Amino acid sequence: MPEVFAATNKKDKAEKKVVHRHVDEYSEVLRAERPCSNHLASFLAKPLAITFDAQDAGEHILLLLRQHPIVLVKRFFIILVLLLVPSLFAGIDLLAFLPGNFQFAALTLWYLMILGFTLETFLSWFFSVYIITDERVIDVDFISLIYKNVSAAKIDNIEDVTAITGGVLQSIFNYGTVKIQTAAADTEIAFESIPQPSKVTRLLNELILEEEKEKIEGRVR
Amino acid sequence: MNPLILGQSSFDPSMLEGLLLLLVKLIFLFGSGLYILFALIVLRQVYIMKNTITTNFSAIILTMAYLHFFASIGVALLFFSIL
């Protein structure tokens, strides 16, 4: 009797052995993509040499997204105008009432503030990322220098995925928002202004299907 | 002797100018001090975010943040010396 019991246990263990398929085996979207090593890109499929702090052992980043660079154009023009302000007002000589050293200090402080604004713009764009792994979706919002928001949802908890593309710019440059409804307490995760939203939606649907298959086939992680 | 006339005659415009320049100088120094604080927050946030997401580019961003911080200190020292 104990021998039979032991044999059954062995069989169960063999059946429940972790068989986690590689993403290329089940995702048509990512099969067509080459691993990306450009860390400044806004659509990084199968990114190389990128990890995040809450990453589990064996969890792989499938897609890392940032806002489309076109959203930075507005800020770029603001910076350009700010840089040109001293030259534009050179004829009026607004600071003529101040001695030369004070005028120089004012100009230095002006350019330093523009440098700070540029750096803050870049950091907000670079560190606000949306990560899709083979287990979760993670939204890292670096809203301002003193406010950071990280939310995550398991793929199993995703109930609905919607891609929204509206407006002339979004249609031309193929970017938009992907809304992910989850069963978790934080009900919605929004990937805002990301490139190729339809591709992201297709990938998420493929991942949801794979998770369901894993459950049915008992391929537990 | 009219005290009003006496008061008007003792008024020195260069003193007022000196006071105004001192005020402007203090504003500049306070501004540069605030900017150092901002640069320090940027540096701290870059450290936090570097640990949140690790990429090959993180080292370059950290260098940029350090350069920005040292530039802000340099500007404050410049203001101390020239103003």
CB contacts, 8 Å: B28 with chain A: 102, 105-106, 109
Q: How far apart are CA A5 and CA A217, in angstroms?
A: 23
DSSP state of A146: T
Along the 83 residues of chain B, how does pLDDT read in single tens digits? Answer: 454 454 555 667 788 888 888 999 999 999 999 999 999 999 998 998 888 888 888 899 999 999 999 999 999 999 999 98
Closest CB to A145 among B45, B56, B68: B45
Residues within 8 A of B (CB atoms), A 148-207 only: 148, 150
Q: pTM for this one?
A: 0.83
pLDDT tens per residue across span B58-68: 899 999 999 99
Residue A111 in contact with partner chain B when CB distance is under 8 A: no
Going B6 to B7 to B11 to B15, the CA torsion angle's sign is: positive
Q: How far apart are CA A204 and CA A159, in angstroms?
A: 11
**Amino acid B1: pLDDT:** 46
pLDDT tens per residue across span A127-143: 999 999 988 999 998 87
Compare all CA atoms of chain B with the CA of A141 and give the residue at the minimum distance: B49
ipTM of the complex: 0.81
Q: Which two tokens stand for residue A90?
A: 């050179």
pLDDT tens per residue across span A108-132: 999 999 999 999 999 999 999 999 9
Q: Write the DSSP string, A54-98.
A: TPPTT--EEEEE---GGGGHHHHHHHHHHHHHHHHTTTTTTTTTS
Phi/psi at A21 (nearest 5 deg)?
-75, 150
Compare all CA atoms of chain B with the CA of A41 and give the residue at the minimum distance: B57
DSSP state of B12: -
Spans of chain A below 70 pLDDT:
1-19, 145, 185-186, 219-221
